[in-house]
Homo-oligomer: A and B are copies of this chain.
Amino acid sequence: MGPGRIAPVRDTAFKRPGGAQERKREVARLRILVLGGDGYLGWPTALHLSRRGHDVGVVDNFVRRQYDHEMGVDSLVPITQLHHRVRVWEEVSGNRLDTFIGDLTDPVFVDNTLERFEPEAIVHFAEQRSAPYSMIDRQHAVYTQVNNVVGTLNLVYAIAERDPSIHLVKLGTMGEYGTPNIDIEEGFIEITHKGRTEVLPYPKQPGSFYHLSKVHDSHNLQFACRIWGLRCTDLNQGIVYGQETGETDLHPDLATRFDYDGVFGTVLNRFCAQAVVGHPLSVYGKGGQTRGMLDIRDTLACVELALMNPADKGEFRVFNQFTESFTVQQMAEMVVENYPGAARIDHVDDPRVEKEEHYYRAAHTKLLDLGLVPHLLEPATIRSLLAVVDRHRDRVDPAAIRPTVQWRNTANTLRPSSDISAS
């Protein structure tokens, strides 16, 4: 802290209870900021951590809701305003969530938020997370990389300046690795080359400007841990499916969003939407693309496991956060099999530039070693997903599902007028 600055006083409203049990509480109960806490995964993560007894602050700038306006789409499941659902959560659980509204690319906001909340850990979901969105055109590519990289840079500077002991749990993606023809390891790989051996960062071959932004983050974070002794866990997450968690189920107004559109909808959620509205399930290309997947409930469990077992001072740690791998074709077939009505698969030209068939074997033992008990993808899971869609089937806009962003184009129109007239 520079001269002339006053040491921050812990706001009593946020003060951790003192007294005899403080030490015990410090082990079990953490002050956790959830960045992007209004989003698909951030919101249920905040609720889960709150229910588990942690003091949780939610940070968001609502830009995810703005993307919906930009694209003319909406979450399949209606979601309430953040301030409303925070009040509902307090009524339901008796637990308060502090809210901080602002943008991570604003360094003053980031620093003030850390000063006010004094977190012991930060879960960072607050990045633009759609590959197709980043590939719309130059403007969206630049936005995605600047937003994600600058937000995370501002965060590590604020952590280093305020309290380097804060554990940063950062959402990365399995897509950072791409699809190499050798086994994928968790962040690092031991390489023997010309008679010498070294453990080095696993080579990255990301497949979109979004995935690239996460690779940039990983490199920046590893460096920040090295020079400033920060502690960071980079969660290279697979593709998440599901919409219901133990906490969001407690009240309809606590629901998290469900995206089925071609830009933000993830593959399994999107297939379920297509089955319910009677459209063919659109598999991109041959469908042999293999991806690590996980249940939304396992996202919450993994984040909590990372928080309760923090990285060491100066450690940049990488966990591959997924539980099973499937090809896109397999996922489509599972939905067809479990949909009670008629459903069929349609192979469409792959809008992406990716291998449509490839070797894929990726390590994911570190979270299991910490105690993760996965929810595997079973027929009941798919049926419950289909039921979610069915409850809101009137809200599905079939025209929004089609892939409109072609990787090979430098500029894409989000919803061509021909689509609008056809819908």
For residue A154, which residues in chain B have a CB less than 8 angstroms away from its CB?
A: 138, 142
Q: Is A2 an interface residue (CB 8 A)?
A: yes
Q: Mark A167-190, 1 if CB is under 8 A from B, else 0.
A: 000000000000011110000010
**Which bucket holds chain A's interface residue count?**
35 or more
Q: Is A24 an interface residue (CB 8 A)?
A: no
**CB closest residue in chain B, given A207:** B223
Q: Is A35 an interface residue (CB 8 A)?
A: no
**CB closest residue in chain B, given A137:** B157
**Which residues in chain A, 10-50, are within 8 Å of chain B measured between CB atoms?**
none
**Contact call B209/A215, Cβ cutoff below 8 A:** no
> With A and B bound together, what is the CA distance between A161 and B141 in angstroms?
15
**Contact call B153/A228, Cβ cutoff below 8 A:** no
Q: Is A420 an interface residue (CB 8 A)?
A: no
**Which residues in chain A, 199-233, are within 8 Å of chain B measured between CB atoms?**
200-209, 212, 215-216, 219-220, 222-223, 226-228
**Contact call A410/B205, Cβ cutoff below 8 A:** no
Q: Could you list 21 A-B pairs, sorted by A, with CB under 8 Å? A: A107-B142, A138-B154, A142-B150, A145-B149, A145-B220, A149-B216, A180-B198, A181-B197, A181-B198, A182-B193, A182-B200, A183-B196, A189-B191, A191-B203, A202-B203, A203-B203, A207-B223, A212-B220, A227-B408, A228-B408, A228-B410
For the complex of A and B, the 7 pairs showing the least CB-CB separation, nearest first, are A200-B203, A138-B157, A181-B198, A227-B353, A182-B193, A216-B216, A182-B196
